[in-house]
Structure 1
């Protein structure tokens, strides 16, 4: 009997830890890149015919990431064990059949459950959800065996704090740039290396087959034995099968066009020295409230003789409207808007490039004041970061979340748990 109870507790605790860690990770990586999450939700809405909800993509990703994160925290800390395990089970009962449908029919390329941090195929996602569903069933059935680190009186704070923290973290990454850049165009990346194929890179390898006809009989030959010199055979058709995939650049299909629709990709990428890219995936949806800060950087680029391009996926009419509304005078370059959304999570966003290498990226909210532009840009070009380091931002985020929970745990322990234990000893 004792061994049976111990086994139940061990299995329940393993399930709790698995669910807690996975849900927290899933929620936090979505919150790191809420724009990317909104794009993925938009893919879902389009695939399932719910395009009328497209205006709520960002709100949905905020809520989804916060819900996953909160459930993960509650499971990990044993908060509202019965309710948390129930909602996790409901969540997995919904997601598992959904991911099976994705695996079978492939309406979207990947589920986006871990954002761009870990990209899983639809079948990998389905198998992952099978494991989580099994863990959710165990955690729900044996929820009374789950450890809890707080008393019931502190449950409300832990739950509310986790949810609001994740919402705030979402907003911070949306208003600025993601604290961690999981995409190819991160600071330090060499753009020509990302988009081009090296001269010595392996090419695709194909097997070629030819169908010939003789005396009313068709036969297929390979490249090695087809009847090239036998005139009694009549050529019918041919086909090719890919047997080995060649080198594929990390960012395929990178092409830049000028106003006359001329391909200027090589000209731009081979440009030496500093260069600015103002990235506006969609001019129609662009926020121009910080246009003065952008124009200040443009003026600085003009003074220094640095090229300044505006990359957009919008039409020429939209470019003209933008020029009229903002007074801009920079050169427009057209490219794929999906590529631009991958390049920087801002609309607009600014990128500083030197000899093809990305040196800095800004959301317009974070552009330096006019008096500090020269110093800021020179520091980036010299390799001196003037923004908080990524590691510092992660540490600050961890401390902002864990310290309040630790303080509440200390208070809860001495105010509630220990007091209750003392009463039990006295009785």
Structure 2
């Protein structure tokens, strides 16, 4: 009964409703009664901006870096860097080789004491092809039929004046047997000046007989011509008649043909088989130089490193230049020679009276005056291959 009474006493009793937990209450931390203050639920993390994703169906613009930070990784463009490096190295090669050749070239003192012509417009080069055997072994001398070196200053098989100025470039051949006044030695062949006094006396002889001031002296020996011709793969020569000259070491048929260095040298030196000897020889010399200039200025002479090296090495092996000749003057010389022999300029022989190789005083004086005043465009009929007046 007591229990029932007690139960009845409880029947009207209502348990109190649980109260709502305070804001921020965390049920996970409700471990029952505790004397430790309950912690509030941690605050939610701040909202991050949505990632910059590419549109659906499109791939990212670049691979992500190894750190996974989503930033594009730079591509190594080796296919651009390698060609650029090769171009730079090629330009360095093109510039370095001529400077090396120039530094190894023999410097020649061609100055002399005495009065010289005054400064003149344009630049005039004295080009000398000597019979120097420098750079040739005894075996090569025998092969090229040059004979031994007789000592002294040797002789000049080729004498030319190249004038470069405002007008067309002019290459003027001076026959080596020309009779002129050599200072200190009287009237004799002009090539004797080189034998008597070397480059200085030859320069003085040219200036005193022509009135033309020589601005730069350039000399090339037998070996240099042979090496350069071989470096460009040979030159074309066109003898009008068969040539059999044991002294020059050649036996050629008439007509155009390819000549190597040794043949080109012999063709330039030969004269005994010609009726006019020295006159036709200077024409053959210009023919070889013209063909050589055409070969040298071909793109392959620059693009082919072996040919480019051979041309510079061959020229430097037996080339002599005046002590005051600059790199710029050598560049202008090459350009002027190419122009004169390539048809853009003029190529002729000193005006002559006849085939006895005596200058025509009147016409030669006119020619020299036009050169000294840089009026090569007015040369006209004075410029002939054999130096003789044009018929009619």
Common topology (TM > 0.5) = no
Report the structure, 1 or 2, having the larger helix content. Answer: 1
The TM-score range, normalised by the shorter chain, is under 0.3
Q: TM-score, normalised by structure 2?
A: 0.23
Q: TM-score, normalised by structure 1?
A: 0.22
Compare CA radii of gyration and give the structure with the larger one: 2
